[in-house]
Structure 1
Amino acid sequence: MRYHPAVETVRLLVLTARPPWPPRRGDQARVAGLLTHLAGRHELHVLALHPAGIETAPAPASIPLATHRADLLQQARALARHPHRPLQVAIHSLPSFERAVARAVQLHRPEVVLLVLSRLAGLLPALAGLPVVLDFIDSLSLNMARRAQRQQLLAPLFRFEAQRMAAWDRWALGQVRCGVTVCQRDAAAIAGSSEELARRLAVVPFGVSVPEEPPHLREGESVVLLSGNLGYFPTVDGARYFARHVWPLVREYHPSAAFWLAGSRPPRAVRRLTRLPHVSLWANPEELTPFFQRAAVAVVPLRSGSGTPIKVLEAMAHGIPVVATPEAAAGLDRLPPEALTVAADAPAFAAATAHLLSDAHAAHRQAVAAWEWVRATHSLPVVTATFEEILASAAAP
């Protein structure tokens, strides 16, 4: 699938809260995919904050990437300097980064600035006079509010952070030319009851690479896969829930089935799950494709989080039928019902997983419907073309 946008070339400055490469987290994958498809058509310059402890890798040769280091002491000072900002905003409010941004603006003279994540919206005063597109990606306030429901001991902190992020996001959206998020649910959470703010928001889905060939019939496989960023709290919580409450029920249907966890940054809580029968972990694999090739069913048992679960899109793109919770499905817009199996509790989740393991033809029908949907709505060329129109419109006088 190719696209041929009719927009003019723009000079684009992209500001990110961490380097896009390697793309192990959702915001990194969002930016890396977008920039890879914009490179060559537009004049790109990327400036990324590089917090302590964040892995980095070289950008593709066609994408100029500069990074600005930030150590823990700098972030602690920023936190103390901005006690009234949300915590995740305050630790990114670094004077040295603001100066680096000012220098980048003077050097590159961008026609439009893409600001990635509202935690960087403290930079907006330094970008005064420039058209800014703010990619929220998802609603951080919604994320915090839902996390409070799952972590009772820290619930007061998460609820407080959710309230402050909601107010911060509304303020930031009012300052920029346009805001972007990945799904309607998060757009509604960001805009709240304000129709004016809602008009400033555009939904641009998360983009993934989609193979050109439709899924083939998979027979004889018995691997159940949970993949992606295994260090992300909703995934950690979902993996534990599935392994402890759903997986034993699946094995009653299919004693020989295997549950594979494959992805980046698995914490101890996920590693411990391998003590359970027929549960295996592959930590930080270079590629997920070999695991997709072996999987019969992908499971997305998320009970919290926000935005669009990338693991759903990646599994669908690779022709694997998906079973997901209602919470995960809520981040998927205009999804045909035949493209996803939704299960609200452990017995239903186990039965749905077992059914797809048992009936290869039913699994194939669901996989084809999902592949067609994700190819039409979430393929990187389609998503990039939409984003490109927004950036060009913002840059227009």
Structure 2
Amino acid sequence: MASILFLAHRVPFPPDRGDKIRGWHVLRHLARSHRVHLCAFADDRRDLQPRAQLVEATASRTILWRGKGRVRAVAQALATRRPFSLTAFDAAAMRAAVGDVLAREPIDAIYGFSGQMAQYLPAGSRARIVMDFVDMDSAKFAQYAGEARGPMRWLLAREARLLQAFEADVAARVDASLFVSEAEAALFRKATGAPRVRAIGNGIDTGFYDPAAGAPVSEAGPLIVFTGQMDYRPNIDAVAWFAETVLPEVRERHPGARFAIVGRAPTPAVRALAQVPGVLVTGEVPDVRGWLAAASVVVAPLRIARGVQNKVLEAMAMARPVVASPEAAEGIDHDGWLSVARAPGDFANAISALLADPAQASAIGARARRQVQRRYGWDAQLAPLDALLELEAA
């Protein structure tokens, strides 16, 4: 039985947001045959006390509070000429925790989850190192910079440039670099020329995300649903764009249609959207499956997105018809199971057609679930990991 050091920028359990979902399933996969030692940050006070499932899956756990504010992280980044994505997660206590695990445990492999944790990869270690970047974060910041103005444009362009150099340096010295989709992996290869880059996609637990698993919430009329962490910039941008440019056109044809924004930590800008006719902002809900089960249509109108969107796989697993932007559909085999639209009019047309023909919408949803069951199980997606880490099962 091998020993693995698992570095995570966020405690991976409970798996209640996109990054934690991938992190938890990777950790659990590795823990089935190996001893996993976790070093992770927490940004939710509830995560400081590990749940029973996380304790059961790990041989040891070090969870540290990440309380550094954005202004402080940016100031440190400017002073040290580093990306603020790294200074935000730079902590002496985490370096000490990683060093302690390496000193006391015969670590055979290290799994770094998310680029922010690459700064803790030890130099000169004999352990095999796999860096799961998930997405190419530098490309995301370049996209942000392209839409910003003034000093913020300069700051975001600086972040993109410095972060890409850091990503390339890390990829050159680890044994494998992972990305969530082949498109993301190809983008990284082209931008950095890095070797040993491959894609391992996200999966979905179709036993949990099952249309028969829970009762739909009670909402009258056609219901359009978006799910996600609502203090995350791409999600904020997506729901604002949809509520302001797409929903009015849908409601002209279907006056009773409502748009539910379902997810924790809605910002003031998101909460303000509840003043738009037909918009409902739920905040955190105990179980998102009830809202998905009630949805006439699920939308993913992200204009800034990287990799595979868990929200799309979850909706498809729940047998819901989905209308998504090209960015949100990236990396998902969606021929005939997912509608893709970019312009507001195209989005409105696709949604209106589904609302006008519930039988066809239901048939598309059923096909979507079958596709997810066939292609996107976590076991199938993560099967290559042991070979990449060069570990033998117990």
What CA distance in whole angstroms lies between the structure 1 residues aligned with 2:34 and 2:344? 48
2:384 is the counterpart of 1:386: yes
TM-score by length of structure 2 reads 0.88
Go from structure 1 to structure 2 and tell me whether the alpha carbon gap of 1:366 and 1:40 turns closer, same or farther (over 3 Å shift). Answer: same
Shift, 1:52, TM fit: 8.3
What CA distance in whole angstroms lies between the structure 2 residues aligned with 1:160 and 1:288? 37
Shift, 1:365, TM fit: 3.2
What CA distance in whole angstroms lies between the structure 1 residues aligned with 2:169 and 2:392? 22
Secondary structure of the residue aligned to 1:290 is helix
Shift, 1:53, TM fit: 7.3
Residue identity opposite 1:203 in structure 2:
A
Residue identity opposite 1:17 in structure 2:
H
Go from structure 1 to structure 2 and tell me whether the alpha carbon gap of 1:100 and 1:24 turns closer, same or farther (over 3 Å shift). Answer: same
Go from structure 1 to structure 2 and tell me whether the alpha carbon gap of 1:70 and 1:204 turns closer, same or farther (over 3 Å shift). Answer: same
Task: Look up the match of 2:93.
Answer: 96
What CA distance in whole angstroms lies between the structure 1 residues aligned with 2:122 and 2:170? 11
Gaps in structure 2 of 5+ consecutive residues: none
2:76 is the counterpart of 1:79: yes
Residue identity opposite 2:201 in structure 1:
P
Relative contact order, higher structure (CA 8 A, sep 6+): 1
Shift, 1:275, TM fit: 0.7
Identify the match of residue 28 of structure 2 among 13, 36, 40.
Answer: 36
Secondary structure of the residue aligned to 1:192 is helix
Task: Look up the match of 1:244.
Answer: 244
Identify the match of residue 207 of structure 1 among 170, 179, 203.
Answer: 203
TM-score by length of structure 1 reads 0.87
Gaps in structure 1 of 5+ consecutive residues: 1-8
Shift, 1:70, TM fit: 4.4
Task: Look up the match of 1:105.
Answer: 102
Identify the match of residue 184 of structure 2 among 151, 170, 186.
Answer: 186
Residue identity opposite 2:169 in structure 1:
W
Shift, 1:261, TM fit: 1.0
Residue identity opposite 2:41 in structure 1:
L
Go from structure 1 to structure 2 and tell me whether the alpha carbon gap of 1:214 and 1:124 turns closer, same or farther (over 3 Å shift). Answer: closer
Q: What CA RMSD, in Å, does the superposition of the two structures yield over aligned residues?
A: 2.8
- The 8 Å contact of residues 205 and 377 in structure 1, kept in 2 or not, is answered as no
Secondary structure of the residue aligned to 1:67 is strand
- How many aligned residue pairs are there? 381
Residue identity opposite 1:88 in structure 2:
S
Deviations along 1:279-328, whole A, 9 cap, x unmatched?
11111112101111101100011111212222111111111111011222
What CA distance in whole angstroms lies between the structure 1 residues aligned with 2:124 and 2:63? 18
Deviations along 1:237-293, whole A, 9 cap, x unmatched?
010000011000011111111111111221111111111112111111121011111
Residue identity opposite 1:147 in structure 2:
Y
What CA distance in whole angstroms lies between the structure 1 residues aligned with 2:187 and 2:82? 19
- The 8 Å contact of residues 111 and 131 in structure 1, kept in 2 or not, is answered as yes
Residue identity opposite 1:297 in structure 2:
V
What CA distance in whole angstroms lies between the structure 2 residues aligned with 1:235 and 1:155? 20
- The 8 Å contact of residues 77 and 83 in structure 2, kept in 1 or not, is answered as no
Shift, 1:211, TM fit: 3.3
What CA distance in whole angstroms lies between the structure 2 residues aligned with 1:73 and 1:242? 30
Secondary structure of the residue aligned to 1:141 is helix
Shift, 1:194, TM fit: 5.4
Task: Look up the match of 1:315.
Answer: 315
What percentage of aligned pairs have identical amino acids?
28
Shift, 1:145, TM fit: 1.4
What CA distance in whole angstroms lies between the structure 1 residues aligned with 2:49 and 2:230? 20
- The 8 Å contact of residues 82 and 90 in structure 1, kept in 2 or not, is answered as no
**Stretch of structure 1 that moved more, 24-33 or 53-62:** 53-62
Task: Look up the match of 1:11.
Answer: 3
2:106 is the counterpart of 1:114: no
Residue identity opposite 1:19 in structure 2:
V
Go from structure 1 to structure 2 and tell me whether the alpha carbon gap of 1:146 and 1:250 turns closer, same or farther (over 3 Å shift). Answer: same
What CA distance in whole angstroms lies between the structure 2 residues aligned with 1:229 and 1:82? 31
What CA distance in whole angstroms lies between the structure 2 residues aligned with 1:68 and 1:136? 21
- The 8 Å contact of residues 150 and 304 in structure 1, kept in 2 or not, is answered as no
- The 8 Å contact of residues 18 and 49 in structure 1, kept in 2 or not, is answered as yes
Go from structure 1 to structure 2 and tell me whether the alpha carbon gap of 1:214 and 1:129 turns closer, same or farther (over 3 Å shift). Answer: closer
Residue identity opposite 2:281 in structure 1:
L
What CA distance in whole angstroms lies between the structure 2 residues aligned with 1:103 and 1:26? 29
Secondary structure of the residue aligned to 2:342 is coil
What CA distance in whole angstroms lies between the structure 1 residues aligned with 2:74 and 2:248? 48
Q: How does 1:334-349 map to 2 (within 5 A)?
A: 335-349=333-347
- The 8 Å contact of residues 207 and 378 in structure 1, kept in 2 or not, is answered as yes
- The 8 Å contact of residues 326 and 341 in structure 2, kept in 1 or not, is answered as yes
**Stretch of structure 1 that moved more, 131-140 or 257-266:** 257-266
Shift, 1:360, TM fit: 2.0
Deviations along 1:337-375, whole A, 9 cap, x unmatched?
211111111111011001111112322332233223322
Residue identity opposite 2:31 in structure 1:
A
Identify the match of residue 170 of structure 2 among 169, 172, 177.
Answer: 172
- The 8 Å contact of residues 62 and 97 in structure 2, kept in 1 or not, is answered as no
- The 8 Å contact of residues 143 and 306 in structure 1, kept in 2 or not, is answered as yes
- The 8 Å contact of residues 222 and 256 in structure 1, kept in 2 or not, is answered as yes
Shift, 1:163, TM fit: 1.4
What CA distance in whole angstroms lies between the structure 2 residues aligned with 1:81 and 1:50? 25
Shift, 1:51, TM fit: 5.4
**Stretch of structure 1 that moved more, 272-281 or 205-214:** 205-214
Deviations along 1:133-186, whole A, 9 cap, x unmatched?
000011101111122233335222212211111111111101101111101222
Residue identity opposite 2:162 in structure 1:
R
